[in-house]
Structure 1
């Protein structure tokens, strides 16, 4: 059984005593657990609604504070939680901003824990005491950031900031050891590879119509061929993000000239031209290896106020482990930009701000919701590990046909700067914790099955 109940400490109880409320009184309890810590206990029934622990047990379990949390009972053990560890990197020596500029995002995420009934903390590879089976976790309290010694968590939510960090040997070893030696589910474990995702989705007949023609065997000849077929093409890094390294290649037949639009390392929009595609690529790529890129069909996107529009859709798994649409927004490109990213002057709008006609609005929302849930389930089926959230970039062409450009396992959160998307901001954070509740319950009840 599972219940959300107040858990409190009592200094008048004997060392191993707990007072068990009526809603779980039909279960014989022999031990109590929090994260990976477990101790024998003696349960005494009482008529209240709270679960009371002796001061000794409360301290041994390393419970950080009293509060309303989930209680799972399985085979005579009462499990308190979930205890969710958020794994990241980039810690500083400051307790005001322990994770640098990302501290604000994490403080918002951790402050959602009490709405769901969970304990959450941040940790890095260097905060683990393997010998003691504990971690030094960073918790966000009403008094700001605090360090607490905690047991190993029920689940780990991976929030490593970038691909380079993810490949670091110590961080990869930490993930492997916690999953293998401790059977701790680790969700959103890696950044998606664009080509890998494309190949897996091409297996699904009902998803193929959403996918632009894409190739990973990039060559001048292949690009020339696609430029004969489409008005323009995109050259994209297989493992890129934030629109960096994306080139829009256009061939003007009248001028017999090739153009490349792109954004440089300083996020400045650039336009380069040449009579030769090979010369153009040599100039803009600066001898970068073409094998690290994909070429993709260019889609003439819908325009609003002379700006290109695409759409960001967030999907999350809920407390039942089902995919739901959690947020949706339109993104308008900045002047001279080939992408709608905020760092290129892109503007966030709600779907209703883009489409004033109610019928059109509803039709677009329906299309985006249907496609994002369909593709979320397909990715979940074909990708290994536990996936709890995905951010999609979609586009509508001039005929209102929907195209999926990208799927991100660690979606950015720039759309939530829009004041009308505050509820969605909270919902996406809440759902991440609810999915951790789901994983916790399933791991407790069937530790082998959850990894199968």
Structure 2
């Protein structure tokens, strides 16, 4: 059986015209590719009729420079190839398009700012697996859904016309960009026209997640009581049931805007606000006065009110866990990593952007107040919860996800709780970039893209 990843050589157009390609003879025999008859070469949305010239004792593919340019390929590379006899099509790929928020052509070495290293890591991972990746922004979606002006890496970053991809990984970082009519129309059209798979196609709002997961009997045990905060009556009811409640912006991220409300005595309440510099505290002589102080914000920010949990901590700093779950080469959810995040001093949220620190689950559990018995299988229980929650999202929310960041917690009895689910997990929030190494999370993304594109 010949391998499906082959070396693709780009040669002078004077040697090889656009309507011909050269392929190792063994491939023609194995796949029964007809001699002398036109077949279609396919790369993403690009299709072009060619004749195949067999080459003895050669296990690669040669294409002319002019044809390669039309495909957005500038240098020799490795790609997966597959002959589909029902349509007489030789498919190359997968071609992956990563939709990013912004680019800056004036900084050619760092066109994507802080995520440029991650983008280059994706390029290297694709080269290793026989895939091809490019990057594009909403501004490069201009109504022609057959091709896009995207960024490729070829001895440096360059912009060029590339075909619409087999797979789109939506890594837009704001709902405003994601909801632009051009972006929504593009995602809809490439699915219809080119059978493009789009994954992580939407942001998740906190109430949407909790309401959807409540339908799943296997997941309810992980869910703290949560509601959209609508009025004072709801705040009063939750504060009568729980000594601590949290208000979380429905569309918040990175711990921004979270308010922790706790009862100090029968009448007095304290609100703690998460800010970049630390925690700001404010006392109120009644719950009604506290509500009045936030009711103005509620006109522009929708809050989810959530049962406060008595979480494990390390020297008074709360600990939670970020599980990165990804679909693999067979389309099944798997755990890529779970890390413990300990809140920074003067903070009650654990995000790295707020001074939080990372450690292994085992280290965090060992340093916490859990007994040996309570912490014994903590890692396995966190993994099981993350996988069940990911499957629940798939089942109950009508959108396509290939990776999720799932924030979990352990209470002081060792019980696992869900805090929130992030459909755009940061690649710097689990395992940091390492010199010249491709992280498992990046390799897994390519494997899933290959699965989606049938390579």
1:31 alignment counterpart? 40
Distance 1:205 1:157 in 2: 31
1:159 alignment counterpart? 171
Q: Shift of residue 331 of structure 1?
A: 0.5
1:7 to 2:5 alignment: no
1:63 alignment counterpart? 73
Answer yes or no: is the 8 Å Cα contact 1:72–1:78 preserved in 2. Answer: yes
Is the alpha carbon distance of 1:439 and 1:70 closer, same or farther for their aligned partners in structure 2, counting shifts above 3 Å?
same
Question: Which one of 249, 257, 260 corresponds to residue 248 of structure 1?
Answer: 260
Q: Shift of residue 23 of structure 1?
A: 4.8
Answer yes or no: is the 8 Å Cα contact 1:236–1:246 preserved in 2. Answer: yes
1:352 to 2:362 alignment: yes
1:108 alignment counterpart? 121
Q: Shift of residue 172 of structure 1?
A: 2.5
Question: Which one of 329, 346, 349 corresponds to residue 339 of structure 2?
Answer: 329
2:130 alignment counterpart? 117
> TM-score, normalised on structure 1?
0.89
2:381 alignment counterpart? 367
1:186-206 Cα offsets, whole Å, 9 max, x none, are: 111111011111111111111
Distance 2:418 2:437 in 1: 21
Q: Shift of residue 110 of structure 1?
A: 2.9
Is the alpha carbon distance of 1:360 and 1:5 closer, same or farther for their aligned partners in structure 2, counting shifts above 3 Å?
farther
Distance 2:53 2:297 in 1: 73
Distance 1:81 1:110 in 2: 14
Q: Shift of residue 162 of structure 1?
A: 1.3
Answer yes or no: is the 8 Å Cα contact 2:70–2:161 preserved in 1. Answer: no
Q: Shift of residue 350 of structure 1?
A: 1.6
Question: Which one of 78, 84, 89 corresponds to residue 77 of structure 1?
Answer: 89
1:93-140 Cα offsets, whole Å, 9 max, x none, are: 322222233323323333322122211111123324655932221123
User: 1:277-426 to 2 correspondence within 5 Å?
Assistant: 277-284=287-294, 286-289=296-299, 292-356=302-366, 363-416=377-430, 426=439
- Structure 1: runs of 5 or more not aligned: 443-452
Answer yes or no: is the 8 Å Cα contact 1:122–1:138 preserved in 2. Answer: yes
Distance 1:287 1:387 in 2: 32
The farther-off stretch of 153-162 and 11-20 is: 11-20
Distance 2:28 2:142 in 1: 34
1:22 alignment counterpart? 26
Q: Shift of residue 72 of structure 1?
A: 2.3
Answer yes or no: is the 8 Å Cα contact 2:407–2:420 preserved in 1. Answer: yes
The farther-off stretch of 398-407 and 131-140 is: 131-140
Distance 1:428 1:13 in 2: 39
Distance 2:289 2:126 in 1: 55
1:439 to 2:449 alignment: no
1:298-326 Cα offsets, whole Å, 9 max, x none, are: 11001122211100000011111111100
Answer yes or no: is the 8 Å Cα contact 2:408–2:416 preserved in 1. Answer: yes
1:214-257 Cα offsets, whole Å, 9 max, x none, are: 11253222222222222201111111111112111101225x21
The farther-off stretch of 355-364 and 198-207 is: 355-364
Is the alpha carbon distance of 1:60 and 1:107 closer, same or farther for their aligned partners in structure 2, counting shifts above 3 Å?
closer
Secondary structure at 2:139's aligned position in 1?
A: helix
Question: Which one of 173, 184, 189 corresponds to residue 172 of structure 1?
Answer: 184
2:36 alignment counterpart? none
Answer yes or no: is the 8 Å Cα contact 1:136–1:150 preserved in 2. Answer: yes
Secondary structure at 2:257's aligned position in 1?
A: coil
1:349-392 Cα offsets, whole Å, 9 max, x none, are: 12232244998776122111111111111111222232110001
1:97 to 2:107 alignment: no
Distance 1:245 1:67 in 2: 47
**Aligned-residue RMSD, C-alpha:** 2.7
Q: Shift of residue 90 of structure 1?
A: 2.0
Answer yes or no: is the 8 Å Cα contact 1:262–1:337 preserved in 2. Answer: no
Answer yes or no: is the 8 Å Cα contact 2:141–2:182 preserved in 1. Answer: no
Distance 2:60 2:268 in 1: 75
Distance 1:54 1:397 in 2: 62
Distance 1:179 1:35 in 2: 12
Answer yes or no: is the 8 Å Cα contact 2:44–2:163 preserved in 1. Answer: yes
Is the alpha carbon distance of 1:416 and 1:144 closer, same or farther for their aligned partners in structure 2, counting shifts above 3 Å?
farther
Is the alpha carbon distance of 1:290 and 1:206 closer, same or farther for their aligned partners in structure 2, counting shifts above 3 Å?
farther
- Structure 2: runs of 5 or more not aligned: 34-38
